[in-house]
Chains A and B, each alone.
Chain A
Amino acid sequence: MLENIRLSFQGIWSHKMRSFLTMLGIIIGIASIISIVSTIKGTNEQIKENLIGAGNNSIQIELYQGDSAYWMDQGAPQGVSAPNQEVLEEVLKIPEVKSASFYNKRDYADSIYYKNTSMDGGKLLGIDRNYLSAAGYDICAGRGFADSDYTQIKKVAILDDKAASTLFQHENPLGKTIELKGEPFTVVGVAKASEEFEPVINSWNDYYTYYGEQMAGFVLVPTASWPILYGFDEAQNMVLQANSTEEMSDAGRKAAEVLNTNLVSDQEQFGYKAQDALEKAKNLQKLSASTNNQLLWIASISLLVGGIGVMNIMLVSVTERTSEIGLKKAIGARKRTILGQFLTEAAVLTSLGGVIGVAAGNVLAKVISRISGTPAAISIPAIVGSVAFSMLIGIIFGLLPSIKAANLNPIDALRHE
């Protein structure tokens, strides 16, 4: 067997040009499969990272009206009960939930100013002490809210980094006074998502998925100070943190159930829904996989064509080497031996093509990823599978020529010059 493999390499090497051309079909097929699989894998990893891998495992639970989130730009809807402290306790009892916090929210708060600079499309949140950790924010400058901020109802605010850069550009926001609905609030801190990520935007869909929520900045004030701005308005939203990424879906779903059982509403269509990032990621992955699967099928056709090319050349090779085969049979080689020799040769040829194809595919994937910005990730199972599959192609398409070689009549074969 080893001897056969060595001889095969010798044969391939002595016909470098022909061997390369024979392998080309396999190389192209495997290279396209590898680059497609790498791109799929890279995209999937990117999607997962963008949506859930922000590292903090936090889930927003929002009030929905029908199928869309209720825009809190006018405050909580009329006639819908607000969840109370007992509901929060109940949510915290869910095993998958690590921490949870209610918050007040205004979408598109339109009256946030620093001097003459306004922030459009920002969000204003009234938060309790747990919010920052549950939502996965770290204070990167200044301080968080202290107990005294709540007890003394201080007019203080924390900006997220986007709001800080929108309102203050290069100025240091700490200690400055901003205007919220005409009320002066002192900036005491700047918060930043604990794990930053840079989403890759390839389409409007991606844009909405990744940036719809995040482009505009946040201004956070203590819940105690919320009534200064909007009167006594109940918190309607919840953020919670799951123990792990895998438990995010369950944590979100169970918490939403708890909230919904406690929801009293005179209108049917109100309900809480968790923003299920894991599910969303899976759906997006499926979508990208299904389009790429079609590409995979097309690439597989090129492998088939490559295999037929190998068969063709092997048949020529058998004819060419008729006298060699005849001699070998005359001096005592069995059919099996000849069959094995030619099958090994075909398998070595295509495996070599597979290996070159894998290398070329990885390079191709890197190049595509450079040019188009889609990420690529090397998939070990795909590499092993491709090489094994190309070997299989060699065996399948080498079978016919090898049988032909093994069945040659040594007398005719020897006479052949």
Chain B
Amino acid sequence: MILELRDICKDYIQGKMTVPVLKNVCFEMEEGEYVAIMGPSGSGKTTLMNIIGCLDQATSGTFLLDGEDIGGLNDNQMSEIRLRKIGFVFQSFQLLPRQSALENVMLPLSYAGVPKKERRERAVMALERVGLGDRIDFKPTQLSGGQKQRVAIARAMVNHPKILLADEPTGALDSKSGEQVMDLFHSLNEEGVSILMITHDADIASCAQRQVIIRDGILRQGGR
């Protein structure tokens, strides 16, 4: 089991009011699965993603990632988990604009303390894997949206994470580039990468093996 969420609740304090965003969410995901979480804006899907991505802690409930209990970890331990076990893909790519594609991909490797020579080799391999072997020295401004997102995917994959978390990965892309990204996710999943994707687009969600729907902080399991 790669993800195991039991009775996860998340409340936000707004002034004197406590606003519940996630209500007793239970969710499980096997290793190698490809799952889409669908929901309208304000449904709590981003909050759920933040908790699963170890960017935030749940108010209550148990969350096991790769069998490890995340509750009660401190800031540095959470950083370590994000570094070793999670690969993030964001809607707006979040590439460092002044650095080349290669440098962007090498960034997580430098945090992981990989030796410099190996960093380069692995980053080049990751870029070749997403079909950008000929673009390694390009700056993000010289790349198209689809290419940027593929650089971001290479960056997410370069540390061999346990799970790839994608937050609206096609949200800023035209449909053709979006399809390319989905194809890439599909082939990565065939290679055994676990993927959890958030989207509000049913077409995109249908690319996943399994869909779950979240609405008003309540998760409903879809069909397998």
Residues of A within 8 A of B (CB): 3, 10-11, 14, 323-324, 326-337, 410-411, 414, 417
Contact = CB atoms under 8 A, between A and B. Distances in A.
Contact of A335 (B75, B84, B88): B75
A331 B76 contact: no
Contact of B55 (A333, A336, A411): A411
A331 B111 CA distance: 9
A11 to B, nearest CB: 7
Contacts of A414: 55, 90, 94
Contact of A323 (B80, B94, B112, B155): B94
Interface in B68-86: 75-76, 79-80, 82-84
B79 A329 contact: yes
A323 B50 CA distance: 16
Contacts of B88: 330-331
B111 A327 contact: no
B108 A332 contact: yes
Given A410-B55, A411-B56, A414-B90, A331 B98 contact: no
Given A10-B98, A323-B94, A417-B92, A334 B50 contact: no
Contact of A330 (B75, B82, B96, B98): B82
A331 to B, nearest CB: 5
B98 A11 contact: yes
B94 A327 contact: yes
Contact of A331 (B75, B92, B108): B108
A326 B55 CA distance: 10
Nearest to B165: A330
B96 A332 contact: no
B107 A331 contact: yes
A327 B108 CA distance: 11
B142 to A, nearest CB: 15
Contact of B96 (A324, A335, A410): A324
Given A3-B110, A411-B50, A411-B56, A335 B82 contact: no
A10 B155 CA distance: 21
B39 interface: no
Query: Chain B contact residues (Cβ within 8 angstroms of A): what range?
Result: 20 to 34
B53 interface: yes
Contact of A328 (B90, B98, B107): B107
A337 B82 CA distance: 14
A132 B79 CA distance: 83
A337 B76 CA distance: 11
Contacts of A335: 75-76, 79
A332 B83 CA distance: 4
Interface string B11-51: 00000000000000000000000000000000000000010
Interface of B: 50, 53, 55-56, 75-76, 79-80, 82-84, 88, 90, 92, 94, 96, 98, 107-108, 110-112, 155-156, 159
A324 B96 CA distance: 7
A417 B92 CA distance: 9
A379 B112 CA distance: 44
A334 B55 CA distance: 12
Contacts of A331: 82-83, 88, 107-108, 111, 155-156
A324 B103 CA distance: 14
Given A323-B94, A331-B111, 15 more contacts: A11-B98, A329-B79, A330-B94, A331-B83, A331-B88, A331-B156, A332-B79, A332-B80, A332-B82, A332-B111, A333-B111, A335-B75, A335-B79, A337-B111, A417-B92
A162 to B, nearest CB: 70
B20 to A, nearest CB: 18
Which among A330, A332, A335, A417 has the greatest number of chain B C-beta atoms within 10 A? A332
B102 to A, nearest CB: 14
Nearest to A327: B94
Nearest to A410: B55
Contacts of B107: 328, 331
Contacts of A10: 98
A411 B88 CA distance: 13
A320 B92 CA distance: 17
A327 B92 CA distance: 11
A330 B55 CA distance: 7
Nearest to A14: B98
15 contacts: A14-B98, A328-B107, A330-B53, A330-B55, A331-B88, A331-B107, A332-B79, A332-B108, A333-B79, A334-B75, A334-B80, A335-B76, A337-B111, A410-B55, A414-B94
